[in-house]
Structure 1
Amino acid sequence: MKKRKRFVLFMVIFSVLLTSFSFYFYQLFYGVNILPEEQPRMVLIDRDDTFDSLRNFLYEEQIIEDALSFSFVAKILKYPDLIKPGMYLLEPGMTNLEAVRKLRSGDQIPVDVTFNNVRFKTDLAEKITTGTGVQPQEFEALLNDDDFLSKYDFNSDNVMAMFIPNTYEVYWTISAEALFERMNKEYVNFWNDSRTRQAELLGLTPVQVSTLASIVQDESIIAEEKPVIAGLYINRLNRNMLLQADPTVKYALGDFAIQRILTADTRIDSPYNTYRYRGLPPGPINLPSISSLNAVLNYENHSYIYMCAKEDFSGYHRFAETLVEHNRNARLFQQALNNRKIYR
């Protein structure tokens, strides 16, 4: 009888322990441990992160409540040996099992890459790699590697024409080469049959359209003027006239703070100086926006071949068909510069 009682007692204790351990292990895997009652959080796992550094970060940032249970589940699923870099989104109320499976699978979320208002390659490299694991220096090196660029029919002078300013989604783990490849695909998509035909009707290549658009963009911030300015420069190109675009002189001088271009400035020996060399410069002098590109492709057809900033400094220009008219406009602006004591 005593043996029977001991057996029953043992079975009761065993059942209680089994139930307790079962519940405990169930909680380890299926209990809420991620961001209870908080907002979703993005978690960046860098290329040099270890499981320990990741777990410590998650705990210190209060993304996980119980580091021990998270570690246990991770080790059962062999996650410490399968860490994948990237940007991940962890949702409130996730279990250890859900979180570890998500991280282990490499189920990243894309990051936004945005670039505009860019003039130099250094600026582009800085902006286009923001939010990714690519170092700006890596990307800038590609922009100056003529052997690499030749595979895409670009060179270090005209490669800026390949980049269409916009916002794009990429993964944090993207490489510099893959990021370049992605931008090339966007360039090809932008230059569809319709736009390519428009460029051909102008007698220009897509790169030349981009180069002209960069000049138009620097000439005016007034959207409605851009097609007019584009038409003016197309008139000059068609007549084999020097473009005489002040922004190209500033680019050649490397000084964009200049408010007044002097005659001496126009003598600088640079392929970007359109006062000295006919035709378009070797490449864009900035990264033209889509609106500037469209302004060239849809230029205004007129007879203007001269332009001068208005003397009220409104950003608008006076356009002229004759040199006599242009000289009159130029005197008005020069006098306005003198009145404001702007000599450079």
Structure 2
Amino acid sequence: MYIKKILVAIALTGLVAAAFFANFVYKTMLKPNTAFNNETAYIYVSTNATYAEVRSQLEPLLIDMRTFDVLAEQKKYVSNIKAGKYAISKGMNNNDIINSIRSKNLPVTVSFNNQSVLEKLAGRISLQIEADSLDLIKAMTDSEFLKENNFNEATALGMYLPNSYEFFWNTDAEAFRDRMLKEYKRFWTDNRKAKAKSIGLSQKEVITLASIVYEESKQASEQPRIAGVYMNRLKIGMPLQADPTLKFAAYQLPKYQNTVIKRVLNVHKEIDSPYNTYKYRGLPPGLIAMPDISAIDAVLNHEKHKYLYFAANAQKLGYHKFAKTLSQHNANAREYQRYLTAQGINK
């Protein structure tokens, strides 16, 4: 009888211990532990982040941080932090959360449009991935990289084609730059290379001319015609006389810093710069801004015509009037100049 009581007591103790352990396992691993109302929350884990830094992001999102700490220790997450962007879904338990932030790094969509200089591009990219703008600029302007890939300071911006791309958030500066080089090479298909060769321009010259075309007109439907005008001028040795290149040249001078040139004047045509296409024939040394892909393709597929001139259309702003003769062009230009004067735009 005494032995039977002992066995019963041992059994009861085991049951209590098992119940306690089961409750501990449930609370630690299986009980939902999210404290937010949205369907999904995100955390961004930096390269070389500590568990304390990850914990500080998780704390506002979880109901019971203590049980998460216990499981994170048991699963050795505290000493094996992975950088990246991670999702935590509403109702997840601690086990699910640790599995997610340890192995399910999410890609982010990185987008950029027509940035005028590398510094602005770096600033925009730094808002979308972990790499900061200083590291990005250093990678983008690295002289060894530029030389190895046949770029220079004047043409480097042309390597970055405005679009949307998928990256992991924890991408570093050099990895971003190297990926953009791959995208640049992928863009230049055999077909595009053949078209560039057929019109007598290198890839970088195509992008340089495209940057001028894009600055002249944001209308994709009009860009092939404008490109055709510039190709006609190049063929006969006529200066490009592109107003956007004058603005670019002016903005390099201290006098024009922090100003906006709305009207190109004769004084701008006297600026001594290789980007002054009124003073110097041919293409400038590099692009004046980042062109859309539509403008690059507009150069490669430029319209074949006999126009040598174009002027902004005062009746249809954003578009242009084209002319084959200088007299017709001068009439179109005077019409637009009168419009600018009427609007009080004198510089």
TM above 0.5:
yes
Paired with 2:214 and 2:249, the residues of 1 have a C-alpha distance of: 16
Per mean C-alpha deviation after superposition, the further-off stretch among 25-34 and 266-275 is 25-34
8 Å Cα contact 1:35-1:91 kept in structure 2: no
Paired with 1:205 and 1:264, the residues of 2 have a C-alpha distance of: 32
Q: What is the CA-CA distance between 1:225 and the residue it aligns to?
A: 1.5
Paired with 1:313 and 1:177, the residues of 2 have a C-alpha distance of: 45
Over 4 Å off, 4+ runs: 35-38
Q: What is the CA-CA distance between 1:169 and the residue it aligns to?
A: 0.6
Inter-CA distance 261–36: structure 2 relative to 1 (3 Å threshold): closer
**Structure 1 residues 127-186: Cα deviation after superposition (integer angstroms, max 9, x where no partner):** 223221100111112333322211221111101111111000101111111100100111
Secondary structure of the 1:307 match is strand
8 Å Cα contact 1:143-1:156 kept in structure 2: no
Report how many aligned residue pairs link the two structures: 341
Secondary structure of the 1:33 match is coil
**Which of 88, 91, 94 pairs up with 1:93?**
91
Secondary structure of the 1:224 match is coil
Tell me if 1:225 matches 2:228. no
Per mean C-alpha deviation after superposition, the further-off stretch among 28-37 and 235-244 is 28-37
Secondary structure of the 1:328 match is helix
**Which of 293, 297, 302 pairs up with 2:296?**
293
Secondary structure of the 1:111 match is strand
**Structure 1 residues 80-138: Cα deviation after superposition (integer angstroms, max 9, x where no partner):** 11111211112233222222133233x31011110003111111111223221100111
Per mean C-alpha deviation after superposition, the further-off stretch among 305-314 and 154-163 is 305-314
Share of identical aligned residues, percent? 39
**Which of 327, 332, 335 pairs up with 1:332?**
335
Paired with 2:205 and 2:315, the residues of 1 have a C-alpha distance of: 32
TM-score where L is the length of structure 2: 0.93
Which residue of structure 2 aligns with residue 138 of structure 1? Answer: 135
Paired with 1:49 and 1:160, the residues of 2 have a C-alpha distance of: 32
Q: What is the CA-CA distance between 1:19 and the residue it aligns to?
A: 2.7
Structure 2 residue runs of 5 or longer lacking an equivalent are none
Per mean C-alpha deviation after superposition, the further-off stretch among 168-177 and 144-153 is 144-153
Per mean C-alpha deviation after superposition, the further-off stretch among 36-45 and 180-189 is 36-45
Tell me if 1:321 matches 2:318. no
- Which structure 2 residues correspond to residues 1-344 of structure 1 after superposition, within 5 A? 1-34=1-34, 38-47=38-47, 49-60=49-60, 62=61, 64-105=62-103, 107-254=104-251, 257-312=260-315, 314-344=317-347
Q: What is the CA-CA distance between 1:214 and the residue it aligns to?
A: 0.7
Letter in 1 for 2:88: L
8 Å Cα contact 1:215-1:247 kept in structure 2: yes
8 Å Cα contact 1:145-1:156 kept in structure 2: no
TM-score where L is the length of structure 1: 0.93
Paired with 1:132 and 1:171, the residues of 2 have a C-alpha distance of: 8
Q: What is the CA-CA distance between 1:300 and the residue it aligns to?
A: 0.8
Letter in 2 for 1:164: L
Paired with 1:161 and 1:95, the residues of 2 have a C-alpha distance of: 48
CA RMSD in angstroms comes to: 1.8
Q: What is the CA-CA distance between 1:16 and the residue it aligns to?
A: 2.1
Paired with 1:152 and 1:28, the residues of 2 have a C-alpha distance of: 54
Secondary structure of the 1:223 match is coil
Q: What is the CA-CA distance between 1:245 and the residue it aligns to?
A: 0.1
